[in-house]
Structures are given as C-alpha cells and as structure tokens.
Amino acid sequence: MRTDFVVREVATGLRRNVTMTVAMVLTTAISLLMVGTGLLAVKTIDATEAIYSDRLEIRVALTQDVSTADSGCTQPICAGLRSTLENSPLVAGVTYENQQEAYERFQELFAGQSVAELARPQSLPATLRVKLVDRDGSTEAGAAAVKQAMENQVGVRTVIDQRDVVAKLFDFLGGVRNVTFALALVQAVAALMLISNTVQVSAYTRRTEVGVMRLVGATRWYTQLPFLIEAVVTGVVGAVLAGVGLVVGKIAFIDSLLAGIAQNGVIPPVTLADVLTVSAYLVPIGALIAGITGYVTLRLYVKV
Amino acid sequence: MIRLERVTKMYKTSTRPALDRVSVEVGKGEFVFLIGPSGSGKSTFLRLLLREDVPTRGKIWVTDLDVAKLPRRKVPRLRQRIGVVFQDFRLLTNKTVGENVAFALEVIGKSPSTIRKVVPEVLELVGLEGKADRMPHELSGGEQQRVAIARAFVNRPLVLLADEPTGNLDPDTSQDIMLLLERINRTGTTVVMATHDHSIVDSMRRRVVELDMGRVVRDEAHAVYGVGR
C-alpha cells in the first residue's frame, strides 16, 4: 500500500467537495456534542446519586405525645422502636433527635426567615434518624424494611424517606439526559446520511480515476480506502470540534450556571477532567461511525 | 491465451442475446481484429474478458484464469494482466502525461523507484519522449491515444484490448496508432482490437473475427474487412 498515494487522494477529495466536507464536519460535531453532553449528564447523575446515597436517611417522626414526653428516647415506646430498628441488619445506625434539637436545626436551616420565628420546639416532632446499610450500591431494601416496620406503629406519626424528595431532582436530570440523547440521535441520523451522501458524491466526482483504477487492476482497498479515510477524517475532525465545544460550553455556561449549587455540595461539579475524558471518547466514536457509514455506502451504492 | 467456449450473454433489457454461443480461441502473441456492426456484441466480448460482466452461459479463460468463476477479490489479478485502450482515451485531465502513466502503477502498489524507471521507458516506446510534463489537453488526439496506450502497456500486460482506438482519429494518425499497436504486439503481447475501420483491417491483413447479432459469422486469418460483401 502506497501511503503517499492514499494521502494525496484523500486531500484531493476533501478539497474538491469543500462545502460538503464542512457540512459533514459540522453536523457530526453537533451530533457528537450532544452525545457528549448526554454522557456528562449521566456522569453527573451517577455522582449525585453517590453523594446522596451516603447522606440520605429515613426519618421516623414520632407522635406529639411521645415527642413531648420523651426527650432522651428512654421510655418504652421510643426505646422499643429504636431497638427494633437497631436490630435490623439493614440499618447502619439510629440517632435520636428530640424536639429541642429539631428546633435548633430548624432555626439553622431557616435562619432569617419568618418561619424560624414562628416555630416552637413543641410544634416540631422528635425523630429517629435511620442510616441504612448500602447493599450492592442501593439502600432500597433497607428503606422498604424500615417503612414496613415503622408505619402504623404506636408512637409513629410518619415515616419520611428523603430519597423520595431527591428522586424528583434525579427525574429532572434524567429528563435532561433523555432529551439530549434523543436530539443526539436525530442529529446522528442526519450526520450519517450526510456522510453517506458525501461519500457518494466524492466517488462520483472521481469516477474517471476510479474507473481507471479498476481497469488497471487496483485492489478494492486501493480504490475504496481514500473514500473511507475521507469519511473517517471528517468524523475525527467533527469529534475534535465537539470536544472543543464541550470545553467551551463548560467554561462559558455550566460553570456559572452550577457554581452555587456545586459549591454547596448539592450536586458534584462538572470538572475539566470529566469533559476531557468524554471528549476523548468522542474521537474514536466519531471515527468508527463515519468509517462504518463510509464502508457500508461504498458496498451498497458505489461501484468501485 | 484467451479462450471462449460457447459463451452466451443475455441482458435483462433485451430478448436477443448480446453474445450467442461464441467460441473463440486466441493464442499468445496473436493480433486479432474484432469487427461487426454496432450492437453486434464487440463491446460485450471485451467486457466479459475484463470481467466487467459475467457470461450467462459458457466459459472464458484469460491466461490460466477462469474468468467467469473468478472470485471478486481476484479480479484485480486478471486486470493486471490485461491492458485496455478506449476510443475516448479516458485520461485524467488534471494529471500530466507522466502522472497519467504513473497512476496505473501507483494504484497497484508499485514502488516509486520502479515507476521512475519504467514511465520514461514506456513514453519513449510510444513516441512521447520529452512530453511527460504536458497536460493531456495540450496534446493532439493521436498523442492522447498514445498516452492511453502507454498507460495500458506500462505494466507489461499479456493481453492488450483496444475498443475502437482509432475511432476519434484521422486516417494518418490512425495508421500511426496501428504501427504502435503492431510494435507492442511484436513484444509478445496478445492484441484484440474491436474496430469499424475498413482501411486499417484491410491494410494490416491480420486475423479477423466478425460478429453479427451476437454470433461469430467469420473467423479468418490474414483477412480483410468486407470479404464476400
């Protein structure tokens, strides 16, 4: 195989269809940019879930009478509930928060707001805060067990699963991811068609060359490789542009948008390393998709 | 060198076969004119030899290759043994004369050193020494056909197929091209030339295979174009 020959043919081909090549690069870039955004969303969701699975707990709120009467969880009802919980293999630990402690935390949480002034220790329930054991990356089993054991028990007002609250956030992030992937898919179909079309146009504009090549007995590889490499080059350039787009997007938008909540630890920050890793994945993805499309097109539509 | 055994070629678009039970044998180093009116099957004959198409029935051998049964990946091997020249030259207009000839070697993977050595030799053989850097449009029709012949011959094929090579040329230039083909034939290359040109066939007095409606109606050594007509 003569590399200089192939390189020259590829350069000629890309130059000759320059508008088509640019269109192909841009479409590929946008489609891969969306794939990259989707991947970053997935990564953020996973990291967020990891953060919360450590922090999230089940709160067993006690009834008014038990809350007021028992500030140290020493009396039979509260102590009984507590030991039931502590004896469960799915529970990692139980702490008791009495009305006074609940009040202090409330004040801290809503400092400066009018609800803080209105609240009284007696109006807040005492709670048993249950930390769950993580089994296979999930606290699902523990949560179900605790709920089943505590609900409708004497002295229990409600059982609050914090994960239910956070689930809404995850639903939102998941929605973002799904929409991004759906758009990426549509865009990818357009990119594939463009690549296929460009390969056909490219082969057509060079039909004399290809004709001569076939007649003098050039192998399939010699006749097809320049077209394939052309497709792969545009795929790679598109992927690199998509990577640049992701970095720019992170610096220009994501950083300022998520700065507040990321600093507070509500969601993990999107790091430059994350973006670069995803960008690095996009390059072989772009090359592979373009290459396969090119190959299939040549097989199906182009006599070379 | 070339053998066709009861070769029939049907095209889907036609009820009449393009070639009808054609049997022809061409020996090594022979010079054969393939004549007949338009639509008589001359081009189909050449296309089948090149494996541009496969016969509907019958067998074709070129050298030791069973052309009809040749797997696709071995087709290049067949074509590297055959040189082809057309009426319309089919030169690459954006390449110089030298590059056009070199192209045929580059695409079959010959080394640059071989190409540098062989291209000037073949240009000299066809009478185009010193014109390697010209562009095709700067040459006359006859010279362009010489470039095409140089390109077809540069890999020293065993067989040279020529489809109306003088069809676009005036009689004098045609004669020059025939002298060139004769010279190539003398190197031992088998030449099969499809033509309409009476005067060339008559003056060369070579073997003539005449096709009509896809059938071989005459196969005669040292013949002329229009015998018995």
pLDDT tens, B109-138?
899 999 999 999 999 999 999 999 999 999
Which residues from A are below 8 Å from B81, CB to CB?
217
Q: Are A92 and A132 in contact (CB under 8 A)?
A: yes
Chain A nearest-CA distance from B187, in A, is 20
Interface of B with A (CB under 8 A): 50, 72-73, 75-84, 90, 92-93, 103-104, 106-109, 112, 151-152, 155
ipTM for the complex?
Answer: 0.86
Q: Are A209 and A10 in contact (CB under 8 A)?
A: no
Which residues from A are below 8 Å from B75, CB to CB?
217
Assigned token pair, B59: 């067998």
Q: Specify the pLDDT at position B172.
A: 92
> What is the number of CB-based contacts under 8 A between chain A and chain B?
55
Asked if the Cβ–Cβ distance from B50 to A215 is below 8 Å, we say: yes
Q: Which of B84, B106, B152 lies closest to A5 in CB terms?
A: B106
Q: Specify the pLDDT at position B228.
A: 47
Tally the C-alpha atoms within 13 A of residue A166's C-alpha that lie toward its C-beta.
18
Residue partners of B228: CB distance under 8 A and separation at least 6: none
Chain B nearest-CA distance from A302, in A, is 15
Which residues from B are below 8 Å from A226, CB to CB?
none
Asked if the Cβ–Cβ distance from A5 to B107 is below 8 Å, we say: yes
Residues B1-52: tens digit of each pLDDT? 899 999 999 999 888 999 999 999 999 999 999 999 988 999 999 999 999 9
**Rounded CA gap, A173 and A196, in Å?**
34
Judged on CB neighbours under 10 Å (0-12, 13-18, 19+), A260 is: exposed
Q: Specify the pLDDT at position A1.
A: 64
Residues A250-280: tens digit of each pLDDT? 888 888 877 766 666 667 778 889 899 999 9
Task: Give me the amino acid identity at B98.
Answer: G
**Rounded CA gap, A218 and B104, in Å?**
8
Asked if the Cβ–Cβ distance from A217 to B76 is below 8 Å, we say: yes
Minimal-distance CA residue of chain B relative to A218: B108
Three-state SS for B68?
helix
Which residues from B are below 8 Å from A5, CB to CB?
106-107
pLDDT band at A57 (very low <50, low <70, confident <90, very high): confident
Asked whether the predicted pLDDT for residue A45 surpasses 80, the reply is: no
**Rounded CA gap, B188 and B201, in Å?**
20
Q: Which of B80, B93, B106 lies closest to A217 in CB terms?
A: B80
DSSP state of B131: -
Q: Suggest the residue from B62, B106, B122, B158 to mutate for an interface test with chain A (most A CBs closer than 10 A).
A: B106
Chain B nearest-CA distance from A220, in A, is 8
Q: Could you identify the residue written with the tokens 């999230």?
A: A56
Assigned token pair, A251: 């610096």
Residues in chain A: 304
The 3-class secondary structure across chain A, one letter per residue, is CCHHHHHHHHHHHHHHCHHHHHHHHHHHHHHHHHHHHHHHHHHHHHHHHHHHHHHCCEEEEECHHHHHHCCCCCCHHHHHHHHHHHHCCCEEEEEEECHHHHHHHHHHHCCCCHHHHHCCHHHCCCEEEEEECCECCECHHHHHHHHHHHCCCCCEEEEEEHHHHHHHHHHHHHHHHHHHHHHHHHHHHHHHHHHHHHHHHHHHHCHHHHHHHHHCCCCHHHHHHHHHHHHHHHHHHHHHHHHHHHHHHHHHHHHHHHHHHHHCCCCCCCCHHHHHHHHHHHHHHHHHHHHHHHHHHHHHHCCC
Per the prediction, chain B carries an average pLDDT of 93
Q: Could you identify the residue written with the tokens 């040749």?
A: B70
pLDDT band at B200 (very low <50, low <70, confident <90, very high): very high
Assigned token pair, A3: 């590399």
Assigned token pair, A61: 């709120």
